[in-house]
Structure 1
Amino acid sequence: MVDHGVVIRRHELTDLEWELLAPLIPRAVRGRPRAEDRQIINGMVYKIRTGISWRDLPERYGSWQTVYTRFRRYAIDGVFTRALQQIQTRADAAGDIDWLVQIDSTIVRAHQHAAATGRKGGKHRQDEPDDHALGRSRGGLTTKLHLACDGKGRPLALMLTAGQRHDSVMAQALLQRICVPRTGSGRPRSTPDHVVADKAYSSRGFRAYLRRRGIAATIPEKDDQKKHRRNRGSRGGRPPGFARETYRRRNTVERCFNRLKGFRGIATRYDKTATSYEAAVSLASFLLWARSF
């Protein structure tokens, strides 16, 4: 039961958002009474929205150590990843997901606090990459956020890599992360009706992968690919299909990135580990879905 008398401050969960998220938060079955869950989650949202240090959280959220410890535990356990899947399930059951999927990536600059990972040597979790998804690119020390969103600009799947990793290398793995569970029986939905992407994804291998899965695609050819095909004459085959009107919708994924980067803790990476940063992006993505209903 939600207490509708709660004063909702800026950068905190609305009653609807809390109603959607509350059933997915793990409950303590024993031990001393702990801080109220909504208060703690609000502290996490405030931190991600503003990008402040954990130590600088306002006192109304309780001990910053408690908020951080709970966030780190949820990140490792995949709580926000599951929450994102559950809200996608709700949308899919209502027929609210547009399966014209757009994929793209964006570079996120890493703050000096994120750089102090001690990533040379040391012990990491099995699911934590050795490089913590930090690498060198034109922007310096960066992380690349790969994203697949639905036709309404809401995140379906995300993946982190070092900033210098090329988009096309991660395209198949990104699509394979789409997994929307069903409310009843049946396997989760994982296949888009159509994929829209820019020239960075115009590789023969990725196009062949989409054909094998029966997924239509709108991806422009690179100029050198066109030239090579024409030079081969009849052996070069026909050009891939390209729906210009469909491609005009590709800016939907750019708008999705803009909304995610409205969270300052997403626009700049302050988290030392990829696990924590991905959890922050998943929580922000959950909120985008909740605010679309």
Structure 2
Amino acid sequence: MTETSRPTAVALDIDGTLLDHDDQLSPAVIDAVRRAAAEVPVILATGRGWQTSKPVAERLGLAAGGLVVCSNGARTMRFPAGEVVDERTFDPTTVIASVREHAPNARMAVEEHDGSYLVTAPFPDGDLGYDARIRVVGDDELAPEPVTRLIIRDPEQSEADFVELAERLGLHGVSYFVGWTAWLDIAPEGVDKSTGLKVALAQYDLDPAGLVAIGDGRNDIEMLTYAGLGIAMGSAPDEVKAAADEVTKSVQDDGVAAVLNRWF
């Protein structure tokens, strides 16, 4: 899309884009998103699961019947009922075994259909959402059936350590995303946020050329390149900024509002 054309839809990452690292959502961003949502579809596109995405959609006042892309594109849900519009799964058995070999102290989690999590050990507070329901299980009970995502976390390691871990794991037949901290998200092969956005735009009969997407993480790169206009947050890693068409302010400086205020 051109600088002067008006968006036909907006896709927004949540953490680090809408919400800061204290889980705060600024009044300026709420106001800008609500004004945009009154005129075009606003689609949340997040690595979060449905249960922790839905409250953000509620805080933003998004319209009933709208779509939320969750779990890095593996699930597309209808708000607020939680109807599954699209779901992609994979068998994580070989990845789990490889993680245990290369990162024996790592914690793993999978998201269940009801939005709760099975974990091999408790995650740090808030990592899976402060109100997330979790159940601790053994490795052999973690994934008795195909899953939408496998989360790998080690609070004792760094982001750089997990970039190296992803290489050592030799991940084949899956997609993966390294987060801000020692966090690795494993998704079905070929699945990323753009996967869910394709599903969502088809529901609205819209073309990606009119889509504005805003994000800050490595898991946003495919979404930013898929959209007609992809915008990285000011605090995004360099590779995310390089993939975007432009860069806005940081989440602390209401970067999303700065973008949406151009048109809405």
Asked if these proteins are the same fold (TM beyond 0.5), I'd say no
TM-score tier (shorter): under 0.3
TM-score, normalised via structure 2 length: 0.26
Greater Rg, structure 1 or structure 2?
1
| More helix by percentage | 1
| More strand by percentage | 2
TM-score, normalised via structure 1 length: 0.24
